[in-house]
Amino acid sequence: MYPTKTPAFVEVTPKNLPISRSNSSLMPLPIKPAQEVKAKLIKTAPRNKLRLIALGGQDGIGDKNMYIYEYNDDILVFDSGMGFPSAEMLGVDFTIPDITYLEEKKNMIRGIFITHGHEDHIGSMPYTWPKLGAPIYTAPLTAGFLQAKFEESGIKGAKFNIITPGDKIKLGVFNIEAIHLTHSVPDVLGFAVGTPSGLFLHLVDWKIDYTPVFGKPTDVVRIAELAGDGVRALLTDSTNALIPGYTISEQIISQTFDNIFKDTKGRIIISSFSSQITRVQQVIDAAVKNRRKLVIAGRSMERNVNIAMQLGYLRVPQGLLQDIRHINHLPNNEVAIMCTGSQGQEFSALVRMAAGEHRQIQIKKGDTIVISASPIPGNEAAIDDTVNNLYRLGASVILNKQLDVHVSGHANQEDLKTMIALAKPEYFIPIHGDYHHLVEHGKLAESMGIDPNKIIIFENGQVVEFDQKVGSVTKEKVQSGNILVDGSGVGDVGNIVLRDRQAMAKDGIFVVIITVDHRTGKIMTSPDIISRGFVYMREAEDLIYKSRQEVKHIFASAYERTPANYELIKKTIRDQMSEFLFNATQRHPMVIPVVIEI
């Protein structure tokens, strides 16, 4: 009944694996201290102070993460993520951090530590690592994801140092220890960073899950032990700083999945992020228990499941995974499909299914779709469209607001309080959130008895300095910001291009082309008018006619005032035509005058 052939995407032999345990660059340890390089200081940073700098992460959920620890000639980098473009960044694919500051101090970078495999923490590595070239320290699964990214981008020569919780690494003045955390992906690391200014705990993207789906709970004991030695500052996750109560364990989702699988007669399609490897395991478990086969749909999910299986992060019984091409040979009540598209992303598997454009999977009456994710702000409308299309095809959709099919991977207020109680830090520095979240997280710490003068709120580009006595935000600002990636261009879309896109998106363009006899200054033919996105030209003949007359008139009188000064004449045309068109339509198209001298 099932295809006997192993399905294509699991038919991977070690040689074409994106990553494997036999690859020596991935072998855990021995980790050598970074090569001692005499750093040439470009800018003189104050000596004998620990400097904390965010090149990303402090501007909201979905911001690219990148934090720097600097002391004299040594720098550590934590994470190098990509960010979601904001609504104003029209046409932009994603953002990466501006690393000018690090490029100038490249020789001082002892290591790049990656906390976990989510895109906002690893996504910009193919762009930043080739410029920085420092050794990479991270856990096995994250290394697997990263190595696949590097291979896709044709990046070679990266050195991966595989670390696991408990590993201790000395790099320059820093003594780093990896700490096990739970989140919504396996292999999440926090770091204890020993510095001459004291011990700093760097804990992003975690929650306290005492019954995780994969691996051990957050290592609360080790954190308490470190507290015994004295924690100078705790830097930690502000994502859910506004949300009261405790975060729910991922286990609740397993129960919900099991119930859904039990109660559903038709096919079940579960959509989530491709990096949510624990979620995939939960679907696998529900499928096994309820005698369904599993199909994986979506390129990034296939790749990540592949990597996770090869590295032993997924328990997959033989025969469970089926080739997508054989899906229509299976009875509906024996099919489960795991796919991408939980955010309504264009071209994702679920969105193509909802549009009736997926090659292998046609949605039909009786299908149940589970969206196992929360909407990232800004994606709500795209998700709604997808859901409505699925209903129109006869399917039902289960969303997180109806059943527990997703839980946050981030700590709510009570978990955050537990961490403060465990770490007992002298200073509290909220990270990974927007200004609002950082401040509210600070208030939470204050309510736990942290001295309000020792709660430090800093934004991207700001510098926090710690000497033996005090820590505070300095007045220094380092270069930071969003580098926009659009198509093959990295950084070539800046404010001017964006402003033009915004203006054209709002009211369109209005190009006025005037051909002038350079000897007489007379217009040779009737002005050409090219307009897009302003008014529907075929129905605006009257306006266009009047505009031509107006342009001729403006040109003639401007030429009379300043003969042959075409820059000035163009400015006059731009100003006066803008006003003319606004009076006619209450719209502000971008007016572009072009004068061609013959």
Q: Map the footprint of a second copy across residues 257-286, applying CB under 8 A.
A: none
Beta-sheet strand order (sheet of 528-532): 528-532, 509-516, 590-597
User: How near is the Cβ of 237 to a second copy at its closest, in Å?
Assistant: 18
Choices 33-41, 183-191, 301-309, 429-437; region in contact with a second copy by CB under 8 A = 429-437
Is 321 or 353 the residue whose CB approaches a second copy more closely? 353
Is 252 or 504 the residue whose CB approaches a second copy more closely? 504
Applying CB under 8 A, among 104, 334, 426, 434 the residue interacting with a second copy is 434
**What is the amino acid identity at position 440?**
E
In 10 A of CB 222, how many CB atoms? 18
Applying CB under 8 A, among 10, 511, 523, 544 the residue interacting with a second copy is 511
Q: Map the footprint of a second copy across residues 84-113, applying CB under 8 A.
A: 86-87, 90-91
User: How near is the Cβ of 179 to a second copy at its closest, in Å?
Assistant: 30
Does position 11 interact with a second copy (CB under 8 A)? The reply is no
Crossing angle for the helix pair 277-289 and 299-310, nearest 10 degrees? Answer: 80
Question: How many angstroms from the chain centroid is the CA of residue 207?
Answer: 19
Applying CB under 8 A, among 255, 388, 562, 565 the residue interacting with a second copy is 388
Is omega for the bond preceding 30 within 30 degrees of 0, making it cis? yes
Choices 293-301, 311-319, 380-388, 463-471; region in contact with a second copy by CB under 8 A = 380-388
Contact 138, 178 (CB under 8 A): no
Alpha helices of 405-526 — where are they, by DSSP H?
413-423, 435-447, 495-507
Does position 9 interact with a second copy (CB under 8 A)? The reply is no
Applying CB under 8 A, among 176, 397, 464, 484 the residue interacting with a second copy is 397
Does position 496 interact with a second copy (CB under 8 A)? The reply is yes
C-alpha triplet 407, 434, 114: angle, nearest 5°? 65
Is 329 or 532 the residue whose CB approaches a second copy more closely? 532
Task: List the structure tokens of 249.
Answer: 């364990």
Task: List the structure tokens of 157.
Answer: 């020569």
Residue 539 vs residues 513, 535, 536, 543, 545: alpha-carbon distances, Å: 21, 8, 6, 9, 12
Does position 513 interact with a second copy (CB under 8 A)? The reply is yes
Choices 13-21, 197-205, 211-219, 392-400; region in contact with a second copy by CB under 8 A = 392-400
User: How near is the Cβ of 522 to a second copy at its closest, in Å?
Assistant: 13
Q: Of 312, 157, 166, which Cα lies nearest the Cα of 225?
A: 166
Task: Give the Cα separation of 341 and 135 in Å (integer).
Answer: 34
User: How near is the Cβ of 433 to a second copy at its closest, in Å?
Assistant: 10
Is 508 or 521 the residue whose CB approaches a second copy more closely? 508
Does position 515 interact with a second copy (CB under 8 A)? The reply is yes
Does position 402 interact with a second copy (CB under 8 A)? The reply is yes
**What is the amino acid identity at position 354?**
A
User: How near is the Cβ of 91 to a second copy at its closest, in Å?
Assistant: 4
| Strand pairing category for 168-171 and 174-181 | antiparallel
Does position 414 interact with a second copy (CB under 8 A)? The reply is no
Query: What would the 3-class secondary structure string for 354-411 be?
Result: HCCCCCCCCCCCCCEEEECCCCCCCCHHHHHHHHHHHHHCCCEEECCCCCCCCCCCCC
Applying CB under 8 A, among 508, 521, 552, 578 the residue interacting with a second copy is 508
Task: List the structure tokens of 33.
Answer: 């201290």
Q: Which residues bind a second copy (CB under 8 A)?
A: 60, 86-87, 90-91, 242-244, 377-378, 380-381, 384, 387-388, 391-392, 396-397, 399, 401-402, 434-436, 439, 486-489, 492-494, 496-498, 500-502, 504-509, 511, 513, 515, 524-525, 528, 530, 532-536, 539-540, 585-587, 590, 592, 594, 596-598
